[in-house]
Amino acid sequence: MRRPLARSLTALAAAALISPLLAGCGSDEPAGLVIYSGRNEKLVGSLIDKLEESLDTRVEVRYGGSAELSAQLLEEGDATEAGLFLSQDAGALGALSKEGRLAPLPQTALEKVEPAYRGAAGDWVGLSGRVRVIAYHPDKVATPPDSVHEVVKPEWKGKVGYAPTNASFQSFVTGMRVLEGDDATRTWLKGLKANGKPYENNLAVMDAVDSGEVSLGLVNHYYWYERVAEKGEDELDVRIHYLAKSDPGGLVNVAGVGMLKGADAEQSAYARKAVDFLLSAESQRYFADKTKEYPLAAGVTSDVKDLPPFESLTKPEIDLGELDSLKDTLAMLQDVGMV
Partner 1 sequence: MTDPTTGHSADRPAAAATPLAGRRRVAAGRRPSPVLLVPACAAALLAVLPLGYLAVRALERGPAYAWDVIADDRTALLLGHSLGLTAAVVLGCLVLGVSLAWLTVRTALPGARIWSVLVTLPLAVPSYVAAFTWLSAAPGLAGFTGSALTLTLVSFPYVYLPVAAALRRTDPAQEEVSRSLGHGRVRTFLRVTLPQLRPAAAGGGLLVALYVLSDFGAVSLMRYDTFTRGIYTSYRASFDRTPAAALSAVLVLMTVALVAAETRTRGRAGHARTGTGTARPAEPAPLGRLRLPALGWCGAVVALAVGFPLATLGYWLAVGNSATWDPGTLADTSLTTLGTAAAGAALTTLLALPVGVIAARHRGRGARLLEQAAYAGHALPGITVALALVFFAVRYARPLYQELPLLVCAYAVLFLPVAAAATRAAVLQAPPVLEDVARSLGRSPLAVLRTVTVPLAAPGVAAGAALTFVVCMKELPATLLLRPTGMDTLATRLWTETGAGSFAAAAPYAAALILLAAVPSYLLGRHRT
Could you list the residues that contact partner 1 (CB under 8 A)?
Answer: 1-3, 5-6, 9, 12-17, 19-21, 23-24, 34, 40-43, 60-65, 67-72, 74-77, 79, 81, 91-92, 94-95, 165, 167, 170, 198-200, 203-204, 207-208, 213, 223, 226-227, 229-232, 235, 323, 326-327, 330, 334, 339
Least distance between partner 1 and beta carbon 303 (Å)? 22
Least distance between partner 1 and beta carbon 74 (Å)? 7
Rounded to whole angstroms, how far apart are CA atoms 62 and 82?
A: 9
Least distance between partner 1 and beta carbon 15 (Å)? 8
Instruction: Considering the complex, state which of residue 119 and residue 145 has its C-beta at the smaller distance from partner 1.
Output: 119
Least distance between partner 1 and beta carbon 314 (Å)? 22
Closest CA to 189 of 201, 200, 176, 206: 176
For the chain, the maximum distance between any two Cα atoms, rounded to a whole number of angstroms, is 76
Least distance between partner 1 and beta carbon 285 (Å)? 20
Instruction: Considering the complex, state which of residue 71 and residue 315 has its C-beta at the smaller distance from partner 1.
Output: 71
Task: Tell me if 251 sits within 8 A of 148, measured CB to CB.
Answer: no
Rounded to whole angstroms, how far apart are CA atoms 193 and 215?
A: 15
Rounded to whole angstroms, how far apart are CA atoms 57 and 72?
A: 25
Alpha-helix residue ranges (DSSP H) falling in 77-218: 90-98, 107-110, 167-180, 182-195, 202-210
Instruction: Considering the complex, state which of residue 153 and residue 157 has its C-beta at the smaller distance from partner 1.
Output: 157
Q: What are the angstrom distances between the C-alpha of 159 and each of 63, 136, 190, 223, 240?
A: 36, 10, 15, 20, 15
Strands (E), the chain: 33-37, 59-63, 84-87, 102-103, 124-136, 160-162, 196-198, 216-220, 239-241, 252-260, 294-295
Give 246's contacts (C-beta < 8 A, 6+ positions apart): 314
Least distance between partner 1 and beta carbon 53 (Å)? 18
Least distance between partner 1 and beta carbon 210 (Å)? 11
Give 94's contacts (C-beta < 8 A, 6+ positions apart): 119, 124, 319, 320, 321, 322, 323, 326
Residue 328, sorted as left (phi over 0), alpha (psi -120 to 50) or beta, turns out to be: alpha
Strands (E), 19-58: 33-37
Taking the alpha carbons at both ends of the chain, their separation in whole angstroms is 55
Instruction: Considering the complex, state which of residue 200 and residue 266 has its C-beta at the smaller distance from partner 1.
Output: 200
Instruction: Considering the complex, state which of residue 69 and residue 307 has its C-beta at the smaller distance from partner 1.
Output: 69
Least distance between partner 1 and beta carbon 246 (Å)? 26
Instruction: Considering the complex, state which of residue 28 and residue 303 has its C-beta at the smaller distance from partner 1.
Output: 28
Instruction: Considering the complex, state which of residue 109 and residue 267 has its C-beta at the smaller distance from partner 1.
Output: 267
Instruction: Considering the complex, state which of residue 184 and residue 323 has its C-beta at the smaller distance from partner 1.
Output: 323
